[in-house]
Amino acid sequence: MDAFIEGALDVVWSDWLVWLCLGAGLWFTLRSGLIQITGLPNMIRSIVRGGSSADGISPFQALTMSLSGRVGAGNIAGVAGAIAVGGPGAVLWMWVVALLGAATSFIESTLAQIYKERDPRTGEYRGGPAFYFERAYRHTWARIPLTIYAWCFAMASVIALGIFLPGIQTSTMATAVTNAVPAIDKWMVGVVLALVLGTIIIGGVKRIAAFTARVVPIMAAFYLLVAIVVVLFNITEIPDMVRLIVSSAFGVHSAFGGMLGVAISYGVQRGIYSNEAGQGTGPHAAAATEVSHPAKQGLVQAFAVYIDTLIVCSATAFLILSTGMYRVFGEAESMVSFGGYADGLGFEAEPGMDVEYTQAALDSSLQGAGAILLAVALTFFAFSTVVYYYYMAETNLTYAIRRVKSQTFQRAALAALQVMILIVVFYGAMGAGGQAWSIGDIGVGLMAWLNIVGILVLQGPAFKALRDYRKQLKAGRDPQFDPREVGIRNAEFWERRADGAKPGEPDAGAEREPTTTR
């Protein structure tokens, strides 16, 4: 089984996917006119000024929802793992992925807003890659293949988000908690997680959004504050740390000269896992938002990538590198020797022991408290991520079975998903095994392949929306969206809104016939 998992991982995360992620991000950056940089003021404005409705959450809640999925074990254990396998240079490639990925996130999230629907069961907005794959060009000959493609993405998402990925979060969390408080057993952590998660996910998207809006900002600020304190304790190491990151990123450091390819691969891989740009997860929160123009939410989700990688992931990297609490392993699990780092780890380091590096880094400056502080932060980060995983898995399952007329079947399918993710959460906390990260990476890679290829094909409507948004801003107006005025078809929700429909009024959603441009 281990050989099969590693073989599947090598296929999914081949160099082709690495260059696809980087190439797509570069293309979207150039075509959008550096939207991730020129759009920064409007990103902040969209977060602060956005409202909500009975059907849609606010842009700030959508930001925290997407951050709850982005900020988790990948920001703490994932960064440590990238350094352990790819060397310090992997950090720079994570930054590159974030910069380019912000443009990718803008495109996918804008598409999600354009083609969102109202869920007939709950009245809440739903959307994401499966929805825009099916709807964008359903008036053309591509309707049938794109519908099949959309269903494939939906099922891949249900499997990845409902089965493959939650175990990473809860396994990392349980490890951190039991390391900090040995009196607590992992099964206790699993039981508590399953009970609390069950209470939240039954409440639907509104309860999920309310939970993340309260938890994520507080815990992110807490973790960053702790990280800043530790880095300040080691401020004299910062110049050498920056030189180490840059030199090893391009293979010129004496200890990491042969690791350029690995640094790029793991930097991109962990960057995508962490900030999720292009993976197709951010669009789910983007679609749930009440905004007056799709580009506004695209900008908000682009900003989420910055918060995740350039701030939270960088904080972890600086913690580990400035304190020297890391080791880098070669292909045969042999340590790469270099200048006296990692002498004070305090445990027998092995590949895969990712969270322990970050705990050791905190303990090096906050003796006795570092492990506990990290366990608290990671508990909230990882748990909120699992909550968001469930929301996205439910959205995609709802899409996959929505043409089934039996309400009993639909309720049973959703109940089965809830039971499955609770089992996975408990099993992950008990110890998902050494292949947990590999299995999770397979899920991330499959979603990234399907979504990035898809948005490269469907990018046109997103750029039409961007041009319309900029045109209205230039005219001094608060952008309002009517898809017919810019030649976008099949965006029925926005057509009804432009015609005066109020939030809460029923719409035909996916069952309406394709529209024509007027």
User: What's the pLDDT band for 334 if we cut at 50, 70, 90?
Assistant: very low
* Integer Cα distance of 158 and 110 in angstroms: 22
User: What's the pLDDT band for 207 if we cut at 50, 70, 90?
Assistant: low
- Do 121 and 509 contact (CB within 8 A), yes or no? no
The values of phi and psi at residue 57, to 5°, are: -85, 170
SS in 3 state form for 205-273? HHHHHHHHHHHHHHHHHHHHHHHHHHHHHCHHHHHHHHHHHHHHHCCCCCCCCCCHHHHHHHHHHHHHH
Q: pLDDT, tens digit, for every residue of 260-270?
A: 566 666 667 66
Q: pLDDT, tens digit, for every residue of 247-259?
A: 877 765 544 544 5
3-state helix, strand, coil in the chain (%, to 5): 70, 0, 25
Residue 143 has pLDDT above 60, yes or no: yes
Q: Specify which residues 48 forms β-bridges with.
A: none
DSSP 8-state symbol, 309: I
The values of phi and psi at residue 405, to 5°, are: -75, -25
Residue 136 has pLDDT above 70, yes or no: yes
Q: Which stretches of 96-178 are assigned E, i.e. beta strand?
A: 117-118, 125-126
- Do 211 and 200 contact (CB within 8 A), yes or no? yes
User: What's the pLDDT band for 177 if we cut at 50, 70, 90?
Assistant: confident
* Integer Cα distance of 60 and 51 in angstroms: 9
Residue with more model confidence, 232 or 76? 232
126: helix, strand or coil: strand
User: What's the pLDDT band for 45 if we cut at 50, 70, 90?
Assistant: confident
- Token pair for 204: 């639907």
Average pLDDT of the residues in 224-252 = 78
Average pLDDT of the residues in 195-224 = 71
Residue 331 has pLDDT above 60, yes or no: no
Q: pLDDT, tens digit, for every residue of 16-33?
A: 887 888 899 999 999 999
Average pLDDT of the residues in 292-312 = 86
What is the Cα 101 distance to its own chain's centre? 11
Average pLDDT of the residues in 315-334 = 68
| Residues in contact with 399: Cβ distance below 8 Å, sequence separation at least 6, in sequence order | 126, 128, 130, 131, 150, 151, 154
Q: Is 411 exposed, middle or buried (0-12, 13-18, 19+ CB in 10 A)?
A: exposed
Q: pLDDT, tens digit, for every residue of 411-469?
A: 899 889 989 999 988 888 887 555 667 777 788 888 889 999 999 999 999 999 999 99
* Integer Cα distance of 20 and 31 in angstroms: 16
> Which pLDDT belongs to residue 328?
67
464: helix, strand or coil: helix
- Do 12 and 442 contact (CB within 8 A), yes or no? yes
> Which pLDDT belongs to residue 514?
37
- Among 273-282, 311-320, 432-441, which range has the highest average pLDDT? 311-320
One-letter amino acid identity for 322?
S
> Which pLDDT belongs to residue 466?
95
SS in 3 state form for 420-454? HHHHHHHHHHHHCCCCHHHHHHHHHHHHHHHHHHH
User: What's the pLDDT band for 109 if we cut at 50, 70, 90?
Assistant: very high
Taking the CA atoms of 144, 150, 151 and 156 in sequence, report the sign of the dihedral they define.
Answer: positive
* Integer Cα distance of 157 and 150 in angstroms: 11
Residues composing the chain: 518
Mean pLDDT of the chain: 77
Task: Tell me what percent of the residues of the chain surpass a pLDDT of 90.
Answer: 17
pTM summary value: 0.80
User: What's the pLDDT band for 43 if we cut at 50, 70, 90?
Assistant: confident
* Integer Cα distance of 259 and 254 in angstroms: 10
